[in-house]
């Protein structure tokens, strides 16, 4: 049973920071062969790709509006992936989801590429 659990969401004022983390269990492929993606769904909008990290090939990717503000990283000792979000804007308010898939993922910011998803953590910026 695959389980992805996000943590670190909360409420913050515009310009502030939050750090989200994703922990996975029961995933039928090794940690170092995973691609993790972060996605979000803002109120009234469709889910969109935020960032991703390929643990096997070591690359990262960001949606344009997140570049320079968000940083995705890995903690191999804890086998977790984190998303550091700085300079948060009101429009960053959304439910943030972690997703995982075996590497490589052809379109790592595309929702349809991922089969395993967490339940999300809420980020509210005011």
pLDDT tens string 73-112: 999 999 999 999 999 999 999 999 999 999 999 999 999 9
What gap in Å lies between CA 34 and CA 47, rounded to an integer? 21
**pLDDT, tens only, 10-67:** 999 999 999 999 999 998 899 999 999 999 999 999 999 999 999 999 999 999 999 9
The answer for residues whose C-beta is within 8 angstroms of residue 64's C-beta and 6 or more apart is none
């Amino acid at each position: 049973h695959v389980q992805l659990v996000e943590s670190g969401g909360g409420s913050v004022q515009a310009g502030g920071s939050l750090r989200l983390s994703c922990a996975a269990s029961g995933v039928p492929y090794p940690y170092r062969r995973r691609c993790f993606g972060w996605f979000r769904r803002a109120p009234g909008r469709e889910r969109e790709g935020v960032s991703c990290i390929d643990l096997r090939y070591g690359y990262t990717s960001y949606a344009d509006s997140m570049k320079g503000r968000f940083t995705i990283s890995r903690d191999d000792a804890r086998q977790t992936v984190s998303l550091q979000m700085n300079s948060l804007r009101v429009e960053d308010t959304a439910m943030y989801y972690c997703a995982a898939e075996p590497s490589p993922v052809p379109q790592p910011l595309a929702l349809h590429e991922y089969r395993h998803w967490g339940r999300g953590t809420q980020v509210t910026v005011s």
